[in-house]
Amino acid sequence: MATGQQLIDDYLARLERAAQPLAAERRTELLAEIRGHINDARSERGAESDAGVRALLDRLGSPEEIVAAAAEGDQSIAERAATRDQFSGPRRSMMLETWAVLLLTAGSIVLPVIGWLIGAVLMWSSDRWQTREKVLGTAVIPGGIGLYGSILFFASSVETCFAASGADVAGGSTTSINTCDTSSSWTDAIVPVLYGLGAVAALVVPFLLLYLARRRATAEQAEQIVVRVGQPVG
Amino acid sequence: MVERHPLSQLRRGVLEYCVLALLAREQLYGFDLVRRLSEVDGLVTSEGTIYPLLSRLRRDGSVSTSWVESESGPPRRYYAISASGERALAEFVEEWGRFRDSVDHLIKGQA
């Protein structure tokens, strides 16, 4: 077992040395992908034995071969990556995601419509959320506030309507007044429940989205830290 | 670089369209994609060289990537074909048919 792990460590150290000429961003990505491949292969192919690990690494090919494939015709890309590193740094912060959630929640109250719109645009431009999470964020966060408003509006208009029809038959039918009473007690019961659900969703979803984005940002950073810590070896 | 195998140059050129063809059916994460390519006889010699290819396809916009949570371990980077990737694949499929027929025709003609 230990020898298998030792083989993997040696292989990764060799890959890292070979990858030195690549742009930092490319090297990070390549190492993370190969590392992930080895982990997946070990768990899915059950390559825990010494021989299994050896076969796994054989199938991967030599580190030099992999780096040669990465370096092929990549001069301009290496230059572009270097410039990008200069401006934004290799590690992306959570700024975009934090602002997206802030604007969708607090922003839509401070700056009605506009704040929410900017938040939605920011949310959809992030690659740290999946499409369905973006749909959820776009629909539920303002929905928690919007839902409340529309239910109140609906409830009050229903009530007014029945009250008005009751007034129309002024002095007459008790039936219409009864209908009015029934409807208002029905809405009285359902409105707080719906309001509560909307409020809970509006509170929970922003935190859920921030949690997911942070998990993915951490995964991105972990890839980079692993490479940095490993570097003195090379 | 010295090419030992007569088909290695050709294989390398075709591989990226095989990747696009697999992704045209469904999104896949790195290891899954590599495994499927390796199952096809004679296509991939060194599995590790597929990752630089994926990186290049991502940078030229033929594929897009997204993080997906996995039940075990850290989130995985999934690859999906983009609209321009689909166009490139369709173009290749058409050319490839013609190319294959021409080569077959020549080889059989020689024999």
**Is A16 a residue whose pLDDT tops 80?**
yes
C-alpha gyration radius of chain A: 29
Cβ of residue A225 closer than 8 Å to a chain B Cβ? no
CA distance A100 to A107: 9
Two structure tokens written together for B43: 């296509």
Q: Which residues on chain B are in Cβ contact (under 8 Å) with A130?
A: 66-68
**Is A132 a residue whose pLDDT tops 80?**
yes
- Whether this prediction's pTM lies above 0.80 is answered by no
Looking at per-residue confidence, does B67 or A230 come out higher?
B67
**Is A146 a residue whose pLDDT tops 90?**
no
> What is the predicted pLDDT for the residue at B52?
94
CA atoms within 13 A on the CB side of A189: 5
Cβ of residue A60 closer than 8 Å to a chain B Cβ? yes
C-alpha distance from B50 to closest chain A C-alpha (Å): 8
> What is the predicted pLDDT for the residue at A31?
95
* Residue B28 per-residue DSSP state: E
C-alpha gyration radius of chain B: 16
> What is the predicted pLDDT for the residue at A38?
93
Percent of chain B predicted with pLDDT > 70: 95
Measured N-to-C along each axis, helices B30-39 and A24-44 cross at an angle, to the nearest 10 degrees, of 70
Stated as kind and residue range, the H or E segment containing B99 is helix B83-110
> What is the predicted pLDDT for the residue at A153?
62
The minimal CB distance from A37 to the residues B31, B72, B75 is found for B31
Tell which A residues from 170 to 209 touch B, by Cβ distance under 8 Å.
none
CA distance A155 to A169: 22
The minimal CB distance from B49 to the residues A26, A41, A69 is found for A69
- B contact test, residue of A26, A27, A57, A60 with most B CBs within 10 A: A60
pLDDT confidence band for A144 (50 / 70 / 90) = very low
Q: What is the mean pLDDT of residues A209-228?
A: 74
Q: What is the pLDDT of residues B19-40, one digit of tens each?
A: 999 999 999 999 999 999 999 8
pLDDT confidence band for A172 (50 / 70 / 90) = very low
> What is the predicted pLDDT for the residue at A159?
52
> What is the predicted pLDDT for the residue at A139?
79
Name residues whose C-beta falls within 8 Å of residue A14's C-beta, 6 or more positions apart in sequence.
A63
Lowest-confidence pick of A130-144, A151-165, B35-49? A151-165
CA distance A209 to A96: 12
The minimal CB distance from A77 to the residues B47, B54, B59 is found for B59
Looking at per-residue confidence, does A203 or B68 come out higher?
B68
* Per-range mean pLDDT, top range of A65-74, B70-79, B99-108: B99-108
Q: How many CB pairs under 8 A join A and B?
A: 78
Contact B52 A70 (CB under 8 A): yes
Looking at per-residue confidence, does A169 or A193 come out higher?
A193
Looking at per-residue confidence, does A90 or A94 come out higher?
A94
Q: Which residues on chain A are in Cβ contact (under 8 Å) with B29?
A: 40
Q: What is the mean pLDDT of residues A9-25?
A: 93
**Residue B81, SS3?**
strand
Q: What is the pLDDT of residues B95-104, one digit of tens each?
A: 999 999 999 9
Contact A30 B51 (CB under 8 A): yes
* Per-range mean pLDDT, top range of A45-59, A179-193, B75-89: B75-89
DSSP string of chain A?
-HHHHHHHHHHHHHHHHHTTTS-HHHHHHHHHHHHHHHHHHHHHS---SHHHHHHHHHHH--HHHHHHHHHTT-HHHHHHHHHHHHHH-SS--SHHHHHHHHIIIIIHHHSTTHHHHHHHHHHHH-SSS-HHHHHHHHHHHHHHHHHHHHHHHHHHHHHHHHHHHHHHTTTS-HHHHHHHHHHHHHHHHHHHHHHHHHHHHHHHHHHHHHHHHHHHHHHHHHHHHHHHHHGGG-
**Is A114 a residue whose pLDDT tops 60?**
yes
- A contact test, residue of B57, B67, B71 with most A CBs within 10 A: B67
C-alpha distance from B59 to closest chain A C-alpha (Å): 9
**Whole-number average pLDDT of chain A:** 74
> What is the predicted pLDDT for the residue at A178?
47
Single-letter code of the amino acid located at A65? E
Stated as kind and residue range, the H or E segment containing B84 is helix B83-110
Lowest-confidence pick of A88-102, A216-230, B52-66, B81-95? A216-230
Cβ of residue A219 closer than 8 Å to a chain B Cβ? yes
